[in-house]
Amino acid sequence: MSQIKHVAIIMDGNGRWANNRFHPRIWGHVRGSAVVSDIVSTADELKLKTLTLYAFSTENWSRPLEEVSTLFKLLKKFLIKEKDRILSNNIKFRVMGDIDSLPTETINLIKEMEGLTSGASGLNLIFAFNYGGRSEIIRSVNLFQKMNPNKVLTESDLNQFLYCPEIGDVDLMIRTGGEQRISNFLIWQMAYAEMYFTDTKWPDFTPKEFCEIIQKVSRRERRFGNVSDQNQLGESMSKAESNKLTFALEAGL
């Protein structure tokens, strides 16, 4: 497999998919939730380390009540329906976000699933639910300050207090539905992520397109602020040249 270990997906376009078919938006969410299982299986088969799925943002509370409650119900349904498959595939399940405001029954299902899979060594499957990137950062800073009132915050301190510190940086962010923005998703973890935007709306997203995107993005060169590998080979200094440079620097030239 490629260098792509952590894929994060903004599963967007459900509402427009339904409206284009003269159906209510919630129909799109129902169809979209069926796609989630296929994409999780594909991520597992591709041996990705982590798949983070954006299912409900802190801003999505502003939607009509019926839509919000459908999204909550679909999360619960997913947890019940996929439990056996998650367990038998050795998947480690986590929810990132403020789950305290969810119905008690859903909180209990989440905690049960997180507990049952905490020792799993397969795919890390993270559902970002009632999640916002800004609030995650603020939460982390506040937690840190409470425990370390007199210490200056470092990047690794901030990492340590994120919802799921173990997942690390995102390698590839895919957004379906045609919009080209990140909508408050994993803003800290995506500092060096590759971005891929597809016009396909989430209910039409297939394992085939998912694999093709990963293949395509794997061919991109990630430089992380460095120069290209090609340049480094072509222009790399010989030992003698590098010695000359060290000497010049030491001599203050």
Minimum CB separation from ligand IPE for residue 150, in Å? Answer: 38
Q: Does 183 bind ligand IPE (CB under 6 A)?
A: yes
205 vs 36: CA distance, rounded Å: 9
Residue list 43-62, contact with ligand IPE (CB under 6 A): 54-57, 60
Helical pair 104-117 and 65-88, crossing angle rounded to 10 deg: 20
Residue list 11-30, contact with Mg ion (CB under 5 A): 12
Q: Alpha carbon of 223 to those of 7, 76, 177, 190: distances in Å? A: 18, 41, 28, 15
Q: In the set 40, 51, 71, 172, which binds ligand IPE (CB under 6 A)?
A: 71
Active-site residue flag, 229: no
Q: In the set 21, 77, 81, 181, which binds ligand IPE (CB under 6 A)?
A: 181
Tokens standing for residue 183: 């909508």
DSSP 219: T
Q: Is 180 or 238 the residue whose CB approaches ligand IPE more closely? A: 180
Q: Does 21 bind ligand IPE (CB under 6 A)?
A: no
190 vs 170: CA distance, rounded Å: 5
Q: Which stretch binds Mg ion (CB under 5 A): 6-14, 47-55, 159-167, 208-216?
A: 6-14
Q: Alpha carbon of 54 to those of 12, 126, 252: distances in Å? A: 9, 9, 53
Per the residue annotation, which of 19, 38, 60, 231 is the catalytic one? Answer: 60
